[in-house]
Chain A
Amino acid sequence: MIVLDIINVVALVYFAALNLTYLGLTLASFPRTNRYIARLKSLHVEELLSAAGSLPISLLVPAFDEEATIAEATRSLLTLRYPEYEIIVVNDGSNDATVDVLTEAFDMAPAHRLPTSAITTAGVRQILRSRVHPHLWLVDKDNGGKADALNAGLNHSRYPLFAALDADTLLESDALIRIARPFLEDQRTVAAGAMIRIANGCRIKGGEVEEVALPHRLIPEFQIVEYLRAFFVGRTGWDAIGGTLIISGAFGVFRRSIVAAAGGFSTDTVGEDMELVVRLHRYCRENDIPYRISFVPDPVAWTEAPETLRSLGLQRSRWQRGLAQTLTRHISMMGNPRYGTPGVLAYPYHFFLELFGPLIEALGYLSFGITLALGLASPRFVVAFVFLSVFLGSALSVAAVALEEMSFRRYRKGRDLAVMLGLALIETLGYRHLNTYWRLKGMWAFLRGDNDWGTMDRRGFGEENGAATPAAPVVGETSR
């Protein structure tokens, strides 16, 4: 009885803390987004960047067994609008014909390129350069995982900024122009994250999203609402208070020199994107380097979301493992004023509410059920639990849809808005519990020391709604 009471109180406190934090982030996000949109209107981003003086960017594209999609993905990157950039595809020891496909498609020939940083990676076999697109390079190396491939690309990149991409990420043509803006406006910027959107359901042609629409499948539809909440509320809110700890591995831009000095991507975690951002906070603060890590909502990268429960479960479990690996590695940041907002606010939030959240939630649901079944629950407790665990969460998801509606309005169809609102309202009834279960599995895998990426079934980006390419295991999956 006492045990049940304690669990119930802890669960209530947890839900209150989680949702109130999110409420605070939501309240910070509304004016932030409003001002950002107004600012975009007055700055004419393209005009700003069409001028000389924009910072050149190296695009790092790790690829593992991507023979089916790599040529098309690379072609899509070659069409980006940006004054000066290079593409470095890193073949991470593929077992298929990835290198041959690229060599044939872009007339790649052996080349020399001295590495400009010395981050240890698996052996580099050869460097190739396209004879038709001189800014396209291929680093062919032994297998070492996504982070290792990114490090090899980083070693061979030459420009002051680099973008870490997944091979299957579709960038909007002006995404680089837009994500480079924080680096222009603030020299202290060392990293910037972008908006990741889900491409399932969209009409895609020639590597570009032509028409945005919701898919007709529940699992990716739920994820769209989740992504809106994660990016419009989470990322925007944390950015507003300088506490960004996550930049999605699907698309983020970093200052090369700082990342190289900090040691590059960590190869012994499945959450190398978050780990790098947390390490950058530490590195800059421990070395008294003025810095800024930003999130900007207007550059967009499209990614394919899992469409089956199995794939989604694997992805969420892996994200939870990555979170656990990162947070335990940098435990010295916890509540430490030396690390500013990231240490005092963002780290404890992620540690107590995101890392231990699934465990507390699962116990809370169980305890709530038992309390109800035994007839021990007071009406006040039931209302408080339902309010905090179900309704407040739904309200915050509705707020995320509102933020999308007041800013970029990508989903123009009335049906899409109705579906998103409907899903926002019922997301906390079932879907959230599945996530809790997968994240618990992730915690268990972390405790077991599992460091496997696993594989994800992909449909690929076809001409419509993604159906053309065969399923393939990939080095870099979707965003966190």
Chain B
Amino acid sequence: MIMVVWSVVALVAVNLALAGGVVFLRVRNDFRARRWHRIEGRWYPALLDLLAGDTTCAVLLKHVETREVEPVLEICGRLARRVSGDDRKIVREFARPLLSGLSPALVSRQPERRANAIQLLTSLGADDEFHTEIAEALADPSPLVAMVAARVVASRKRIDLAADVLGQLDRFEMWSEAFLASMLASMGSQIAPELRASFSNAESSSTTRSVTARALAELRDVPASDIAATIIAADGGQDRTLTIAALRVIEVVGQSKHLEVVRPLLGHADSAVRARAASVVGKIGVVADSPSLVAAVGDMDPWVAIHAATALYQLGQLDKLRELSRSPGTGSEAALEALARGAS
């Protein structure tokens, strides 16, 4: 009996000690939060004074204690993301002498810490600085660090590092294509030649080519439409991903001369290709394409029907749509939807 009592007492004590550990965690967290608020409360207004011209970088820098360097850089990084133009330049000028404090974080064993450091470093550096550091981060074994570096390159429009990013695209194959394409497109039309080269390179993976095609479509890059048509003609719609990507380009910047490679795809075995082809015909097609679109409105796949009905509306074939809306089958609802959408 005594053994039982003592054991239970011991177990209660262990659980209480665990609960005490949580209380300690709370105390520690509160202490850290207070410290952070203290530093932020001191430095944020000081930086605002700096932006207002009430003080100078040299004066403020004298007050940065060694143990405060990283938090101060964090505050600068946040502020730099919120402001622009001259204000951002001032924040960067202030932070510049402190950036060497990030060196340990850049080579930290924790990828999250390295990623944060590269982000801070670049958000507080000048637009053309840290080429080596960013290139190294792009080649970092951690995909997280590489992605953060790629985002930095894109957001800062570092064309000098565009080729490095494109070279790493295959490492980001798990990422959403739409996201990667937008990231590349955010660099602006200066990256278009690199993208075109990648899109037309048969040696590149179809994921890379698809991403670059989407980026070119976002950039509304007219020369890419010829590349897209050539790819479709050469591939014959075999590679589904690549075909859809190429169609996406033609949809945005294609011309009627590209119709000859698009029209056959209305009869493609893959419904996603058929739907995209119908969309393209709606954008660059002519009235003579109406019969094939009317047929596509009756497609078993609702997406094809919706895209084809929309295409008919875009070609101004309202009578055909009205006729379809009175017919039985799914085409009727697709036609009604296209008419209603157009009316609104």
Hey, which bits of chain A sit against chain B, CB under 8 A? Answer: 35, 38-39, 41-44, 47-48, 51-55, 111-117, 134, 183-188, 379, 382-383, 386-387, 390-391, 394-395, 398-399, 401-402, 405-406, 409, 414, 417, 421, 424-425
Contact = CB atoms under 8 A, between A and B. Distances in A.
A423 B82 CA distance: 43
A383 B3 contact: yes
B174 A185 contact: yes
Chain B CB within 10 A, most for which of A53, A111, A424: A53
Interface in B214-264: 218
14 contacts: A42-B119, A44-B119, A51-B186, A52-B186, A112-B337, A112-B340, A184-B176, A185-B176, A188-B174, A379-B3, A391-B15, A398-B19, A402-B22, A421-B22
Given A43-B115, A53-B182, A54-B178, 4 more contacts: A52-B182, A112-B337, A185-B175, A386-B7
B29 A425 contact: no
A417 B176 contact: no
Interface stretch (B124-132, B277-285, B328-336): B328-336
B4 A383 contact: yes
Q: Which 9 A-B pairs have the closest CB atoms?
A: A53-B182, A38-B112, A42-B115, A53-B179, A42-B116, A112-B336, A52-B182, A383-B7, A391-B11
Chain A CB within 10 A, most for which of B7, B14, B29, B337: B7
B107 interface: no
Contact of A417 (B15, B23, B306, B337): B23
Interface residues of B, number: 53
A54 to B, nearest CB: 7
B110 A187 contact: no
Contact of B15 (A55, A111, A398): A398
B344 A134 contact: yes
A402 B8 CA distance: 23
B26 A417 contact: yes
Contact of B337 (A53, A54, A114, A421): A114
A114 B306 contact: yes
Interface string B303-329: 101100000000000000000000000
A382 B303 CA distance: 65
Contacts of A41: 112, 116
B15 A184 contact: no
B18 interface: yes
Contacts of A51: 179, 182-183, 186
Interface string B1-40: 1011001100110111011011101100100000000000
Contacts of B180: 53
A478 B61 CA distance: 53
Given A41-B116, A187-B175, A52 B18 contact: no
B11 A386 contact: yes
A188 B336 CA distance: 35
Contacts of A406: 25, 29
Contacts of B336: 112
Contacts of A117: 302
A402 B21 contact: yes
Nearest to A52: B182
Interface string B151-188: 10000000000000000000001111111111101100
A394 B15 contact: yes
Given A38-B113, A39-B144, A383-B3, A54 B179 contact: yes
Contacts of B176: 53, 55, 183-185, 187
Contacts of A402: 18, 21-22, 25
A114 B15 contact: no
Nearest to A421: B19
Interface in B59-113: 81, 110, 112-113
Contact of A53 (B16, B19, B181): B181
A52 B187 CA distance: 13
A154 B275 CA distance: 20
A390 B306 CA distance: 60
B294 interface: no
Nearest to B33: A409
A369 to B, nearest CB: 15
A249 to B, nearest CB: 26
B337 A113 contact: yes
B148 interface: yes
